[in-house]
Amino acid sequence: MSIEFDDDFGFDPIDSRLSTQLRAAAPEAGDADAVLTAMRPRLVRARRRRQAGIVAVGAAALACIAGLAFAVTDAAPKTSVNVPPADRSTPAPGPNSTTAIDETTATTAEATKDASSDDATTDDKKPPTTSAPETSGSTAGSGSQSSGSSGSGSDDSPEDVGDDKGGTSGSSGSSGSGGSDGSESSGSGKDGSPED
Amino acid sequence: MDAEAAAGAPADFDATFRAHYWPMVRSLTVACGDREVAADAVQDAFTRAYARWRRIARYDDPAGWVRHVALNRIRDHYRKSERGRRAVDRLGSQTEHTVAGPEPAGDVVPLLATLPAQQRTAMSLFYVEQCSVREISHAMKITEGAVKYHLHAGRSTLKGLVDAP
């Protein structure tokens, strides 16, 4: 015998008896409005607590995202290298020497450029027949420039022997007057420099 | 109502509360045997529903959600009570643990207390609150077939006891 339950009550006497007795066993219904009024502060507190919780969770999530983003950006490799300033008085190995070499190279390149420009100016003034000695003179000028930038033995260099201006130009080579040195070297070459 | 409007609560929460509070308390009292526990569970469920009413109000059966939460609260309550009782037993306490029984209102209630919890809950919801099988399945989170099984088993058990003189 299969009994099918549905929403209808009272299809069987036993169901009617059970329903009656169980409902009689249940407590009497009271005033729902009174209960609701008594519960109102509790309801409001619960809603505020939930809203505060939602706000707190949102703020915490934002803080986590911000912290994560900051950590990711901070952990990235540095794109710049801090190099201490070059100390000209006491040459030291390592980055300073590299920097000194770079400066020398840069200065030499600059001096060569200036010398070339001066040579070009000289070439404009002088006839083409004297272009070869001037080319060597400019080379000598650049050589004295490089020795001048090294700061040692510039006065003893063969290019500057017998010419005080050569030594002066060697020491002042780093100031970028190598062009004039080249012209002077060429001039001194005319005056009887060792190269000549 | 002004306070409610100020709090931003939907208007039909009060109607749902008035329509379902006492039926739930009555049926769950029969189910669990303690009116205070049932009332606390139903009130807590309505409190949770109030905090989430904007979402729950869109449900097909908001009262079903409240009923389900109340049932879970009752289950949690008795689970905690059972853990506490076992802890006291482990500590060697000789004090006798007494659980407040249901209010003396009928002969069938002690008989109902002999049923398993699932059958007792289904029977009380079906016969006291007059919930449908679908509503009971929603409240107990079991299938409608399982609800019918529990109702049939409980009914078969109580049938002989009720019919007995």
- CB-based burial label for B98 (10 Å; 0-12, 13-18, 19+): exposed
Q: Cβ(A110)–Cβ(A182) under 8 Å?
A: no
The predicted-structure confidence for B85-117, as pLDDT tens digits, reads as follows 888 888 876 655 555 544 444 567 777 778 888
Report the pLDDT averaged over residues A137-159: 42
pLDDT given at position B24: 92
Residue A152 has pLDDT above 60, yes or no: no
Query: Three-state SS string across A81-112, please?
Result: CCCCCCCCCCCCCCHHHHHHHHHHHHHHHHHH
pLDDT given at position A20: 82
B17, B151, B162 member nearest A32 (Cβ): B17
pLDDT given at position A83: 81
Q: Cβ(B134)–Cβ(B66) under 8 Å?
A: no
Tell if the CB–CB gap between A14 and B18 is shorter than 8 Å.
no
Residue identified by tokens 């109702």 is: B151
Tokens of B117: 């919890």
Q: Cα dihedral sign for B90, B91, B93, B98?
A: negative
Q: Is the pTM of this model over 0.90?
A: no
Residue among B56, B78, B79, B54 at smallest CA distance from B67: B56
Tell if the CB–CB gap between A5 and B126 is shorter than 8 Å.
yes
pLDDT given at position A64: 95
pLDDT given at position A171: 42
Tell if the CB–CB gap between A3 and B112 is shorter than 8 Å.
no
pLDDT given at position A58: 95
Tokens of B146: 């399982």
Tell if the CB–CB gap between A47 and B50 is shorter than 8 Å.
yes
The predicted-structure confidence for A109-124, as pLDDT tens digits, reads as follows 555 555 555 544 444 4
A46 touches chain B (CB under 8 A): yes
Contact list in A for residue B17 (CB cut-off 8 A) is 32, 35-36
CA A141 to chain centre: 40
Contact list in A for residue B127 (CB cut-off 8 A) is 15, 18-19, 22-23
Question: How far A17 CA sits from the closest chain B CA (Å)?
Answer: 8
Question: How far A82 CA sits from the closest chain B CA (Å)?
Answer: 57
Contact list in A for residue B35 (CB cut-off 8 A) is 27
Residue A161 has pLDDT above 70, yes or no: no
Encode burial over A16-26: b for 16+ CB neighbours within 10 A, e otherwise.
ebbbebbbebb
pLDDT given at position A17: 80
A38 touches chain B (CB under 8 A): no
- Extract the residue ranges of chain B whose pLDDT is less than 50: 1-9, 101-105
- Interface size A-B, in CB pairs within 8 Å, comes to 113
How far apart, in whole angstroms, are the C-alpha atoms of residue A95 and residue B97? 84
Residue among B21, B99, B13, B16 at smallest CA distance from A43: B13
pLDDT given at position A163: 43
pLDDT given at position A59: 96
Tell if the CB–CB gap between A46 and B106 is shorter than 8 Å.
no
pLDDT given at position A184: 41
Contact list in A for residue B152 (CB cut-off 8 A) is 3, 5
B7, B108, B112 member nearest A47 (Cβ): B7
**Which residue has better confidence, A134 or B106?**
B106
The predicted-structure confidence for A44-102, as pLDDT tens digits, reads as follows 999 999 999 999 999 999 999 999 998 888 665 666 777 888 877 765 555 554 554 55
pLDDT given at position B164: 58
Q: Cβ(B121)–Cβ(B140) under 8 Å?
A: yes
Q: Cβ(A164)–Cβ(A176) under 8 Å?
A: no
Report the pLDDT averaged over residues A3-29: 71
Tokens of A97: 């020497």
A141 confidence band (pLDDT: 50, 70, 90): very low
pLDDT given at position B49: 93
